[in-house]
Amino acid sequence: MGVSVFITATDTDAGKTFVTASLARAFAETDIKTCTLKPVCCGCASGQMNPDIKTLLLAQGMEDAQKDAINLYDFKAFAAPAQAAEEEDRLVEPEKLVEWCAARTVGTDIALIEGVGGLMVPLTEDFLVSDWLETMPDCAVVLVVRARLGGINHALLTLKHLQLMGRDPAWVVFNDADGLGHAMLARHAVAIAPFLSACTQQLFLPHIPKADYAPSQLLISFVDDIQMRMKHLNKC
């Protein structure tokens, strides 16, 4: 029995794709059968592939022609999926999305599923990213927090919503995407720690300029923790 991990964040550009790609590369160094998906994405320059899709393809050693294996909905507009889809006279179909993800993860040990934006982003007029997560009750949650001014507020709001859903994150990743330094990471960790459950693991990603993924050694504990979860599930 495999393990699914849903990567969400406090906001757009918080570092979901960076973290997801880093994990994909880290698992590629093991014998764990992993698939990494970006089912819904928005925003790309004219004639170009969405950069998040491109990054995740590269992280898995896949070619551009294999895009459909990791992505279902790809909209051009830099907008929420519901709005971007409307601009193209298209719709995100929740049932199709859920079934597509389930089909892609069959036979894998680890499925990394990257969300789009934050939890409250509308995929349709009445179906949010959080509703999508609700359809995957056994999926562990990674919350990526961009450590910057305003980041603590965004993190606590997101944590509150996850807790109301009964979905405490298994991991919170504090990401110094802006290069503000260790002090900013520490301030976020101190402020957020009282609101985390005992089972939530905190991870820290320092600023890594001119790199498209984190060195795998930074994610060893992450990989080990997921492997432990796999062993536990396989005993049940």
Query: Residues 202, 194: contact at Cβ < 8 Å?
Result: no
Query: Residues 113, 71: contact at Cβ < 8 Å?
Result: no
Query: Residues 77, 42: contact at Cβ < 8 Å?
Result: yes
This prediction has a pTM of 0.92
pLDDT given for residue 228 in this prediction: 73
Could you give the C-alpha distances from 73 to 57, 76, 165, 209, 211, in angstroms and in order?
Answer: 15, 10, 25, 30, 27
d(CA 224, CA 221): 5
Instruction: Name the residues annotated as catalytic.
Output: 38
Give alpha helix (H) positions in 60-114: 81-87, 94-105
**CATH annotation of 3-235:** 3.40.50.300
pLDDT given for residue 30 in this prediction: 83
List of the chain residues with pLDDT < 50: 235-236
184-227 pLDDT tens trace: 999 999 999 999 999 898 988 888 876 666 665 666 677 777 77
- Backbone torsions φ then ψ of 141, nearest 5 degrees: -115, 135
156-179 pLDDT tens trace: 999 999 999 999 999 999 999 899
Nearest in space to 113 (alpha carbons), one of 92, 95, 135, 93? 135
pLDDT given for residue 209 in this prediction: 72
Percent of the chain residues topping a pLDDT of 70: 91
Beta bridge partner(s), residue 34:
110
Residues 117, 197, 226: CA angle, nearest 5 degrees = 70
Which residue carries 């719709």 as its tokens?
A: 91
Beta bridge partner(s), residue 142:
7, 171
pLDDT given for residue 236 in this prediction: 35
The strand ranges marked E within 3-99 are 3-9, 34-37, 40-42, 73-75
Could you count the other beta carbons within 10 Å of the beta carbon of residue 112? 28
